[in-house]
Amino acid sequence: MFFVTGTDTDSGKTLVSSALLTAVNRLGAIASADSAVSILASNTLSTLGVKPIASGCAQTSEGLRNADALQLMTSSSLKLTYPVINPFTFEPAIAPHIAAAQVGVSLAPEAIIESLDLAAFAQADFCLIEGAGGWRLPLGEGRYLSEVVQRLELPVILVVGMKLGCLNHALLTQEAILADGLKIAGWVANCVDPNMSMFEENLASLKEMMSAPFLGSVPFLDDPSAENAADYLDTSPLFQSVEANA
């Protein structure tokens, strides 16, 4: 189980999370002693994407629904009900702790952890919990979503939104995650600005300065689907990280 965070709100966490799920769906099975990835079509891996907190939800006949959470559900091979995937839903597209306060809902880390069906999540061979906003998302009353990740001791996947300023955002986020005592299992460069100047030079700088494994660089896509983005990702370091900690 991994937690996916980003350098900011629009870094592309959902696209990358869905693409990672899709990439693992394409794998057969992960073998063994040497941490190699072996494709065995007869033994596929089950996948699950979860988004505990979402604002900017649409009112439907079945209740509030969030596009990001629905995209994760589509990319997951393990099919669970919507409330299990996205227990905290807020209609306005504003900071979740402000939206929660408007409707009298507590977003304390304890409440978030209690809402997570960890037993159901454990059914998946590969599970991603996608955060909201960046690493230090406020929950109100001086609490942060990062506290949930700390308590669950989850390894983190960092999505770097490639645009002007990304080097500072990436390094500060990396510094905060490590200072919180957590491991970064890997990072992804996701191009959010098609006109970014000196893209390759910035990417090279990040590869030098980031301490975690590089999982791939997703270009700016005309069709930003999980299937297309998955072509640019390498999930093998994530499984090697799990085996190393087993």
Catalytic residues, by residue number, are 51
Among 25, 16, 30, CA closest to 48: 25
Query: If 0-12 CB within 10 Å is exposed, 13-18 middle and 19+ buried, where does residue 152 land?
Result: middle
Neighbouring residues of 61: CB distance < 8 A, sequence distance ≥ 6: none
Query: If 0-12 CB within 10 Å is exposed, 13-18 middle and 19+ buried, where does residue 80 land?
Result: middle
CA pair distance 126, 6, nearest whole angstrom: 19
**Are the C-beta atoms of 69 and 85 separated by less than 8 Å?**
yes
Structure tokens at 198: 């000196």
CA pair distance 200, 60, nearest whole angstrom: 43
**Are the C-beta atoms of 127 and 84 separated by less than 8 Å?**
no
**Are the C-beta atoms of 197 and 230 separated by less than 8 Å?**
no
